[in-house]
Chains A and B, each alone.
Chain A
Amino acid sequence: MSLSDLFTEIILDHYQHPHNHGVIENATQNSRGYNESCGDDIEITLLVKNGIIEDARFSGAGCSISQASASIMTDLVKGKSIGEAKRIADKFYAMVKGTEPSNDSEQEELGDAVALKGVSKFPVRVKCATLSWHTLEEAFKTEGKK
């Protein structure tokens, strides 16, 4: 268990220079997620049209893993359908719990998120990595409410 597996350059870069940080004013869906044990707090706002995620942003505060994961996630799901995003989420959960991406296409689908693979060696940090994805899935359930 080496620290460089956890704090990879890609993670540190997303943490210090996050993508899609902010709030979508005319969001169609949103959700807020907390990590009670460490205080991570994240809000996801989405602009979904005809089942396609046209924009995704996150705000809030938390550790490098939760923030980098949110940054990578919003990059990944933009332009995807809700169904596709859910499928990537499942692959992501499997990866951070220790299942290696099975082939190149899966690896490609997970993009920068592969940099979070090392989290699987740090069980206490898995929740940090999955917070934004769980919050995203909660946001999907809010469809039509706003």
Chain B
Amino acid sequence: MTFDNYKKDFPIFSYWASKGKPLIYLDSAATTQKPQHVIDALDDYYSHFNANVHRGAYELSQIATDMYEESRAKVASFINAPEPESVVFTRNATEAINLVAYAWGLNNLRKGDEIILTEMEHHSNLVPWHIISRHTGAVLKFIKLNDDFRLDLESLRENLSARTKAVSVVHVSNVLGTINPVKEIARLAHESGALCIIDGAQGVPHMPVDVKEIECDFYAFSGHKMCGPTGIGCLYGRYDILEKMEPFLGGGEMINEVYPTTSNYAKPPHKFEAGTPNIAGAVGLKAAVEYLEKIGMQNIREHESRLGDSAARRLADIDGIHIYRPARNGTGVISLAIDGAHPHDISSILDSEGIAIRAGHHCAQPLMRALRVQATARASFYIYNDESDVEALAAGLEKAAKIFKPRERAHVIK
């Protein structure tokens, strides 16, 4: 199957090429580049339709409100949410998870209750629970990794009990690219009477996601990792749960009536959207969804895993390389280490060739400890990458391996 090269839709590539410094961007797991279609949508909104939403009784405000709510409906249909009202706009996946942790966790967890997380979580799905567990006395448990960088579901079954109140897991690991069996995890969580929360920051941008099919209770993701603007993200929540939840932030737009000492709240999703929201961001996210839908999420999934597989095969030849990626069903994310060459040094060497990768702990320090590494170098492919990028990566890594090849001690004069 062929996959069109979509690089031409992203103006950042022609910009750097025109400066004589072509950009090979392999850091899409951190944030993706933006297609012209999304940039135009932001420009169009600010140039022609800017007004505050859900407030003004004038035409422009109504247009802006319609555009904002149409964006919600578009995102809802993209992840097959049962209704647009179950999609709350947030800043990003991190804020979406914090919303659940604070608005649900703080009010529903008691001392001795248990939350099950995994060893491969991003800090965004760890630190909020650390805070909540400190406040409530709830206990955190962890699903372990097996030798193929996958979750050991046996350790989930062992940890589940009547004390389990939530199972919160990453859909796709930002380090390993492992796709977790979230439908199975949601089923097991529900059998124990626990909620299932999914961090989908690396899921929605890269594959078809259907929250109704997964049957999760919450699903969080970020717009900027799926061709959308920064500062807009989403929380899908089961509507009946959202209705029962306390608000997260208080302020304008989230209220029904306000008296000097009390107030009552709007219905979800607006109950969770205090203050003027990121209207342009929502409009831009809708444009991003339109753009991705035109390519097709299944096509994107297959394209990325082809590049990931190809990279894993090609890079395996490099002296002293270690690859942290499941043998089967991987994504376009590939983490690696080279003996003697620190990931930060690898990144500098690749940078000198115009190749952008991520080096470090990837906001997943517990995972780094589980893998017994201090840091990894990570390349992540997206729709604007192709085989030539895999080759450039391989050549850059070969150079790094050569520079850091063990050598005899020189006679340094002190």
Contact = CB atoms under 8 A, between A and B. Distances in A.
B412 A62 contact: no
A41 B374 CA distance: 9
A49 B23 CA distance: 54
Contacts of B343: 38, 63
A39 B375 contact: yes
A112 B360 CA distance: 27
Interface string B348-373: 11001000000111000100100000
B340 interface: yes
Contacts of B6: none
B190 interface: no
A7 to B, nearest CB: 6
A17 B414 CA distance: 14
B345 interface: yes
Given A1-B352, A39-B375, A128 B412 contact: no
B260 interface: no
Given A39-B360, A61-B374, A75 B414 contact: yes
Contacts of A62: 342, 344, 374
Interface of A is mostly: helix
Interface stretch (A8-16, A22-30, A102-110): A8-16
B46 interface: no
Contacts of B404: 12, 64
Interface residues of B, number: 23
Given A3-B348, A6-B348, A122-B348, A112 B412 contact: yes
Contact of B407 (A12, A37, A41, A64): A12
Nearest to B342: A63
A128 B403 contact: no
Interface in A18-63: 37-41, 61-63
Contacts of A128: 344
Contacts of A17: 409
B403 A12 contact: yes
Contacts of B352: 1-3
A64 B406 contact: no
B353 to A, nearest CB: 9
Nearest to A125: B348
A38 B375 contact: yes
Nearest to A122: B348
A16 B407 contact: yes
Contacts of B359: 38
B403 A63 contact: no
A116 B50 CA distance: 51
A65 interface: yes
A38 B343 CA distance: 8
B361 A65 contact: no
A38 B344 contact: yes
B345 A13 contact: no
A99 to B, nearest CB: 22
B1 interface: no
A63 B344 contact: yes
From A7, A17, A38, A65, name the one whose CB has the most chain B CB atoms within 10 angstroms.
A38
A118 to B, nearest CB: 11
A111 B359 CA distance: 30
Interface in B183-222: none
Contacts of A2: 352
A62 B360 CA distance: 10
Interface of A: 1-3, 6-7, 9-10, 12-14, 16-17, 37-41, 61-65, 75, 111-112, 122, 124-125, 128
Given A13-B409, A13-B412, A63-B343, 9 more contacts: A3-B352, A10-B412, A38-B375, A39-B368, A41-B374, A63-B344, A63-B345, A65-B344, A125-B344
The 3 nearest A-B residue pairs measured at CB: A63-B342, A63-B344, A17-B409
